[in-house]
Amino acid sequence: METGRPAWVEVDLAAIQHNVRAIQSHTHSRCSVLAVVKANAYGHGLVEVARASLRAGAFGVATALVSEARALRDAGVEAPILVLGTPLASEAEEYVAYEIAASIGDYDLARAFSEAARRQGKTAHVHLKVDTGMGRCGVRAEDAPDLLRRILSLPALSVEAASTHFSTADAPDLDYAQEQVAAFHTCLQRMRASGIRPPRAHAANSAAILRLPEVHHDFVRPGLLLYGIPPYPGAETVLGVRPALSLKARIVSVKSLRQGECVGYGLAYRMARDGRIAIVPLGYADGFSRRNSNNGEVLLRGRRVPIRGRICMDQFMIEVTDVPEAQVGDEVVLLGQQGSETITAAEIAGRTETIEHEVLAALASRLPRIYRNEEEGAR
């Protein structure tokens, strides 16, 4: 397929759908999947992944920003959308107009949404965010029942759920996560005892989906798992999820260099022998970190070849001395599978001292996306 550029992201939508169904099968029968598609669906493509997830049976989708949610509405997505990030009061009108649910944790914000809904003659939809130990967004767990009681008195406002988020569900030691579980359940019990518990609750991120079944509640919020990335080592064997994204490019130039000649900026690499260098037209402006400089490998003709020199803004160099048949136009795989070899997001994250989330979310919008196994489907 012509992309207009010899570097691109390839996304297997059938893998996304497989992963949604695998996650759903791992939960109880009354639990639904809320697919997390923030940050351009972790680099995979916001609209396309949202649609694929919904076709596979997801209840709705979650974003980080109202602008992401609005883009989905503008694209015709009609399913429930929850924005996980804390909104500004000034954004309430947009949330209400586009029927987007907001995550709130204080009364003044709830009142702003109520007033926006009254002005528009609509109902504002909100989820009460409860901080059980993340120390980030939301009302403290012990204060949540009282806040909920006050919010429920506001007109034109519907509290659809209570939620929380785990700090360490992916850690080897689950003690702190269990403390958060207990805090959330105590909070829900206090709400129920007062007759004010919201109709639904949700807490489980990818790691908690696998390790904390007691918090599957009414729906779960897969991020990494949706994209086939294990949230902790060994998790891939639990559900059999499939990675959906590959990062590829084509060689645009091959040249011979002599032993001792430099490659790229700053004399960062000198040829250890006479050999050949190939140019890959993709760089740090595309989200391929400079920490890959002189560090790591790519796949070429089913073999691993080393990165040489610094990653440039728009290109980088690989040594193809041991692949004598390498030529202009050959496909290079930076992330994904070629033949029997695979480079995973975890491998790249390890060598660049980051996490898989960043490896994927950093992939720039200027990289064309090619979607495979796309189906006709509902909204």
Query: What would the two tokens of residue 288 be?
Result: 């391929």
Task: Return the structure tokens found at 205.
Answer: 């991120």
Count Cα atoms within 13 angstroms, Cβ side, for 196: 17
Question: Which H or E run contains 343?
Answer: strand 341-343
Between strands 245-250 and 331-338, the pairing is antiparallel
Q: How far apart are CA 82 and CA 111, in angstroms?
A: 18
Any bridge partners for residue 263, and if so which? 269
8 close to 248: Cβ distance less than 8 angstroms: yes
Return the ∠ at Cα 136 (arms to 35 and 34), rounded to 5°. Answer: 10
Taking the C-alpha atoms of residue 264 and residue 270, their distance in angstroms, rounded to an integer, is 9
- Please measure the distance between the N-terminal and C-terminal CA atoms of the chain and give it in whole angstroms: 26
Q: Please report which helix (H) or strand (E) contains residue 297, including its range.
A: strand 297-300
Cβ–Cβ < 8 Å for 57, 79: no
Determine which one of 122, 129, 265, 284 is catalytic: 265
Q: What is the CA radius of gyration of the chain?
A: 24
Distance, in Å, from the CA atom of 97 to the CA atom of 189, rounded to the nearest integer, reads 33
269 is catalytic: no
Evaluate whether 211 touches 230 at the Cβ level (below 8 Å): no
- Assign 248 to helix, strand or coil: strand
Q: Is 122 a catalytic residue?
A: no
Name the active-site residue from 38, 95, 129, 227.
38
What residues pair up with 200 in beta bridges, in sequence order?
161
Please give the torsion angle defined by the CA atoms of residues 52, 240, 82 and 142, in that order, rounded to the nearest 10 degrees: 170
Q: What are phi and psi of 228, to 5 degrees?
A: 80, 20
Strand 81-83 versus strand 101-104 pairing type: parallel
**What is the set of active-site residues?**
38, 265
